[in-house]
């Protein structure tokens, strides 16, 4: 009921009470006066008792006064009661909580006005329904139990239950109850105070979900996350950080001090704290950490500071990414870039080196022949040739480690190769090193250059020897292996598949884990200064990579090292060994006409001298244009074109194509001092072409020339002459090289 209506009702009651009291007083006074006038008449026989009459009249007056006082007290008590009821109504009407009184059977006795505001039901609708009617069926039993407990103890426990709103939705109420007892002390009614906590529950649930979502994000994050004090005490860590640092549980990690137990260098932790004292956050800061077992890792950190109420830094929150693998890959990329740069350098200068070395070797051989073995200077010429051969070997090593060496791959079996070297290897190692071979008899074939694989075995053997200065054991193994994705994931650069493994294991000093990823870098060596070229392992790496395989190392400081070479497996028989050409006597002389084209004049003169000494007629030219002009002026046929590949103006391939129409029977022999990767673009490595690598000796040159000329004669006898329009060399014209 509204406050104004309550006020008007109380006013009407008060006016009615005052009217009745006034009428009663007036009637009492009139009766008293009438009685007095009757008794006090002079002719009345009772006039002889005036004092008694006076007493009676006084008694009536006192009674009237007492009646007026009593009515006044009753009015005051009723006024206080009405005011109390008004206050109760005001409280129940304006209270946010819902107040209800029910009897012991659950029948409603009173409901506050807040019920209508919260649940939508009017007081009349509530009076017509049971107190359990709007309660959710699943919650009625616990409400009854709470009511029974309230009757038994006098005060019920806080309870949450669902009540249906008038619109059909369910609201969550938080309720407390207490017992109202009668004058005998028996429970008569229950006073229930209900509070609508629906929104609070929704907010709590939303907060719980948000916290769960945040916790899930933190726990499932791929990066390590932690909160720590400036002193290094960890407060919060996630699973990723636990795994990154190799701990068995987060509790174990939380007991670890960040500064002393995680940072490899505590000064880095101190610098980070000093940084956060001057700035609120930092990003992509790389620091060195250590795992539980002491393994060093590189970590990239980003974070911010958390301040307390005084504005001082209380905690730091950090996101940490393990950048160790990335750094390894970057190091490998830098190594590859170095190798590419050195490869370009060596490939570029190989041509000039080989031209010079070819001249030195050739003329030293000429000098040796002219002097004779008895001459005092014969040994000098021999030393010049040996030095030149060592220079050739060094150049080849540079090309090998830069993966630009000349390869002649064949299908072979590594068991055969290792067995053939078994007698030679003990001469490379000392007597205090025991050599043992473990060769898989079912080993598959590989396709590789035999001489280069021999170089790999030799280099790894020498490397193992130098790692065992006090003696030890050297084990060479072969086996068929299948590498899965799990293995290759942990060994960057490798790919899943079937491989033939060649492993060289020593019991030497081992390699420090921190430098294992650097051992294949150019010029890396653990040898003393001025001992070795530093190209041994780099050469191995280059050969293996160029052969389509990869190499890995497993080592522990002081416990030896194991180098594993993996080459792609082939399921086909090995190529039959061919008797070296030098073992078969051969007549290298001839009378055919050869067009010699070489831009390096000393080498051109040397080759011309070699060929003329063998009886050939030589037409000499310094470049392609001069060679075309010489060929046009020559009246007879040209049997062989011996040309350098890379020359100013016109390369050897283009020259061969232009001469082919006018010289249909001409054979072409290319010569080059460049690496295969450089001259591949000139089309001289295609099937059916012939290439002579510089530097060459007189015997190598004349033997190769004779082979091609004889092959030309044999094919001419067996097959019809080639069409004049058909070029002698296949491949697209890439234009002259400037």
pLDDT in tens, 47-66: 455 666 666 666 666 776 76
- What's the rounded Cα separation, in Å, for the pair 597 and 640? 11
**Does any domain span residue 436?**
yes
CA angle 723, 724, 729 (to 5 degrees): 85
The reported pTM is 0.46
DSSP letter, residue 82: H
Ordered DSSP codes for 104-133:
TTS-EEEE-THHHHHH---HHHHHTS-TTT
What count of Cα atoms within 13 Å lies in the side-chain half-sphere of residue 631?
A: 27
Q: Give the distance from CA 560 to its chain's centroid.
A: 31
Same domain, yes or no: 284 and 391: no
- What's the rounded Cα separation, in Å, for the pair 249 and 505? 37
Same domain, yes or no: 285 and 229: yes
Question: Three-class SS of residue 521?
Answer: coil
CATH number at residue 354: 1.10.287.130
pLDDT, average across residues 201-228: 77
pLDDT tens, position by position, 298-324: 999 998 988 888 888 888 989 998 988
Ordered DSSP codes for 201-228:
HHHHHHHHHHHHHHHHHHHH-SSEEEEE
- What's the rounded Cα separation, in Å, for the pair 320 and 303? 9
List the structure tokens of 685.
Answer: 């490595």
Residue 401 and residue 538 in contact, taking contact as beta carbons nearer than 8 Å = yes
Same domain, yes or no: 459 and 499: yes
Residue 199: pLDDT above 80?
yes
Look at the alpha carbons of 34, 36, 37, 43 in this order and tell me if their dihedral is positive or negative.
positive
| Residue 578: pLDDT band with limits 50, 70, 90 | very low
**Relative orientation angle of helices 601-613 and 324-371, to the nearest 10 degrees:** 50
Same domain, yes or no: 557 and 414: yes
What's the total number of domains in the chain? 6
pLDDT, average across residues 253-281: 88
Same domain, yes or no: 18 and 33: yes
Residue 235 and residue 229 in contact, taking contact as beta carbons nearer than 8 Å = yes
pLDDT, average across residues 593-621: 92
Same domain, yes or no: 509 and 441: yes
- What's the rounded Cα separation, in Å, for the pair 335 and 545? 13
Predicted confidence at residue 577, as pLDDT, reads 44
DSSP letter, residue 318: E
pLDDT tens, position by position, 503-555: 999 888 777 665 666 666 655 555 554 454 456 787 788 788 878 888 888 88
Question: Three-class SS of residue 688?
Answer: coil
Predicted confidence at residue 486, as pLDDT, reads 62
Q: Give the distance from CA 15 to its chain's centroid.
A: 89
Same domain, yes or no: 99 and 84: no
List the structure tokens of 296.
Answer: 């060093």
The residue out of 375, 401, 427 marking a domain boundary is: 401
Residue 602: pLDDT above 60?
yes
| Residue 735: pLDDT band with limits 50, 70, 90 | very low
Residue 1: pLDDT above 60?
no
Q: CA nearest 267: which of 246, 292, 287, 239?
A: 287
Same domain, yes or no: 64 and 117: no
| Residue 109: pLDDT band with limits 50, 70, 90 | confident
Phi and psi (nearest 5°) for 104? -70, -20
Residue 593 and residue 617 in contact, taking contact as beta carbons nearer than 8 Å = yes
Same domain, yes or no: 317 and 335: no
Residues in the chain: 738
Same domain, yes or no: 414 and 532: yes
Which range has the worst mean pLDDT, 9-13, 80-84, 361-365, 587-591?
Answer: 9-13
Q: What percent of the chain has pLDDT over 70?
A: 74
Predicted confidence at residue 730, as pLDDT, reads 25
Residue 716: pLDDT above 80?
no
Supply the range of the domain harboring residue 618.
Answer: 584-718
Burial of 436 (0-12, 13-18, 19+ CB in 10 A): exposed
| Residue 40 CB contacts under 8 Å (≥ 6 apart), including other chains | 47, 50, 53
**Does any domain span residue 138?**
yes
Average pLDDT of the chain is: 78
- What's the rounded Cα separation, in Å, for the pair 728 and 666? 8
């Amino acid at each position: 009921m509204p406050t104004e209506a309550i006020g008007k009702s109380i006013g009407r009651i008060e006016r009615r009470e005052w009217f009745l009291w006034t009428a009663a007083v007036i009637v009492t006074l009139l009766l008293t006066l009438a009685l007095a006038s009757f008794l006090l008449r002079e002719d009345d026989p009772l006039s002889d008792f005036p004092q008694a009459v006076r007493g009676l009249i006084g008694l009536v007056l006192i009674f009237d006064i007492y009646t007026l006082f009593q009515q006044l007290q009753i009015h005051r008590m009723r006024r206080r009661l009405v005011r109390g009821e008004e206050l109760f109504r005001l409280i129940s009407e304006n209270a946010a909580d819902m107040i209800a009184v029910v009897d012991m059977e659950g029948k409603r006795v009173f409901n506050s006005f807040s019920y209508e505001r919260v649940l939508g039901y009017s007081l009349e609708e509530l009076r017509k329904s049971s107190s359990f009617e709007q309660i959710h069926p699943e919650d009625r039993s616990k409400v009854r139990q709470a009511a029974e407990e309230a009757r038994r103890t006098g005060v019920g426990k806080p309870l949450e239950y669902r009540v249906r709103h008038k619109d059909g939705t369910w609201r969550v109420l938080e309720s407390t109850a207490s017992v109202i007892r009668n004058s005998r002390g028996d429970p008569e009614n229950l006073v229930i105070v209900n509070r609508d906590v629906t929104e609070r529950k929704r907010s709590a649930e939303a907060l719980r979900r948000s916290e769960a979502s945040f916790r899930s994000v933190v726990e499932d994050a791929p990066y390590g996350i932690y909160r720590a004090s400036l002193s290094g005490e960890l407060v919060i860590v996630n699973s990723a950080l636990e795994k990154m640092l190799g701990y068995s549980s987060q509790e174990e990690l939380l007991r670890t001090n960040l500064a002393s137990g995680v940072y490899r260098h505590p000064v880095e932790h101190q610098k980070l704290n000093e940084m956060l004292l001057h700035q609120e956050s930092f990003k992509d800061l790389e620091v060195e950490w250590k795992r539980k077992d002491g393994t060093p890792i590189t970590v990239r950190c980003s974070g911010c500071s958390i301040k307390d109420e005084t504005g001082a830094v209380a905690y730091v929150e950090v996101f940490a990414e393990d950048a160790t693998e990335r750094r390894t890959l970057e190091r490998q990329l830098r190594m590859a870039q170095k190798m590419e740069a050195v490869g370009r350098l060596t490939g570029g200068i190989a041509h000039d080196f080989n031209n010079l070395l070819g001249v030195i070797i050739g003329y030293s051989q000429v000098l040796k022949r002219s002097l004779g073995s008895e001459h005092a200077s014969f040994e000098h010429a021999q030393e010049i040739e040996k030095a030149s051969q060592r220079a050739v070997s060094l150049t080849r090593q540079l090309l090998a480690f830069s993966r630009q060496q000349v390869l002649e791959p064949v299908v072979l079996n590594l068991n055969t190769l290792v067995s053939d070297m078994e007698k030679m290897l003990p001469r490379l190692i000392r007597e205090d090193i025991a050599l043992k071979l473990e060769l898989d008899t079912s080993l598959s074939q590989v396709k590789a250059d035999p001489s280069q694989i021999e170089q790999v075995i030799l280099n790894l053997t020498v490397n193992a020897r130098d790692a065992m200065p006090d003696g030890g054991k050297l084990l060479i193994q072969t086996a068929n292996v299948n590498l899965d994705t799990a293995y290759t994931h942990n060994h960057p650069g490798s790919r899943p598949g079937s491989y033939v493994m060649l492993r060289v294991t020593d019991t030497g000093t081992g390699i420090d884990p921190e430098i294992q990823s650097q051992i294949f870098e150019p010029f890396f060596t653990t040898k003393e200064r001025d001992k070795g070229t530093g190209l041994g392992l780099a050469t191995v790496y280059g050969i293996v990579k160029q052969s389509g395989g990869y190499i890995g190392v497993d080592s522990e400081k002081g416990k030896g090292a194991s180098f594993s070479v993996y080459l792609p497996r082939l399921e086909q028989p090995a190529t039959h060994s061919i008797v070296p050409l030098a073992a078969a006597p051969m007549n290298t002389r001839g009378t055919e006409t050869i067009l010699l084209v070489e831009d390096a004049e000393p080498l051109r003169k040397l080759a011309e001298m070699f060929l003329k000494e063998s009886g050939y007629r030589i037409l000499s030219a310094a470049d392609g244009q001069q060679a075309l002009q010489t060929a046009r002026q020559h009246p007879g046929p040209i049997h062989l074109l011996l040309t350098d590949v890379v020359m100013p103006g016109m390369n050897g391939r283009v020259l061969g194509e232009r001469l082919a129409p006018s010289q249909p029977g001409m054979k072409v022999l290319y010569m080059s001092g460049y690496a295969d990767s450089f001259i591949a673009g000139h089309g001289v490595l295609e099937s059916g072409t012939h290439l002579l690598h510089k530097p060459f000796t007189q015997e190598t040159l004349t033997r190769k020339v004779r082979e091609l000329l004889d092959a030309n004669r044999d094919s001419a006898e067996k097959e019809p002459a080639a069409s004049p329009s058909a070029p002698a060399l296949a491949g697209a014209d890439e234009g002259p090289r400037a």
